[in-house]
Amino acid sequence: MINDEYFLAALRLAAGNDPIPSRVSAAARDLFRFRVPRAVTAAFSECAAIRGTRDDDGSHLVRFVAAGLTFDLEVTVGDGLIDVAGQVSPYPGEGALVDVRTPHLTLTARIAHTGHFIATGLPPGWLSVVCHRPGHAPVQTRWVRIRP
């Protein structure tokens, strides 16, 4: 029978002797570039009108909420590309911008006084939206995977 203290000590010793595989370090560096400093992450939110559903036209409706902001996104896939029509409410203020991000491309859009924005021609796959408000920390949605 192995003593728990000896087993934990052996694990600590073994962990210190093995170098981190280069692919793990490379993956960590790749992920680090996706962070938004000081950002608050909005979580998926259930709503009676919007349930992360897929409509007949192939669009996805999703809602995210955090830091007093609600992101309502309609994501449509057509011709192999993604279009995002969204609304941030309440209106985040003059000078607010959104970044619609994929791992390969970021489109920046102005937010209209109604809170609406649009980004078109994005590649399918992972997607996140970041709202930048003057004088406030950025608010970002979780990454979601959009498939054609």
Architecture of the domain whose range is 40-146: Sandwich (2.60)
Q: What mean pLDDT value characterizes the chain?
A: 86
Q: What is the pTM of this model?
A: 0.77
Q: pLDDT tens for residues 60-73?
A: 899 999 989 999 99
Interval 94-124: pLDDT, tens: 999 999 999 999 999 999 999 999 999 999 9
- Domain boundaries defined on the chain: 40-146
User: What local confidence, expressed as pLDDT, does residue 46 receive?
Assistant: 77
| Full DSSP string of the chain | ---HHHHHHHHHHHHHHSPPPHHHHHHHHHHHTT--TTPEEEEE---SS-SS-B-TTSEEEEEEEETTEEEEEEEEEETTEEEEEEEEES---TT-EEEEE-SS-EEEEEPPTTSEEEEEEEPSEEEEEEEE-TTS--EEEPPEEE--
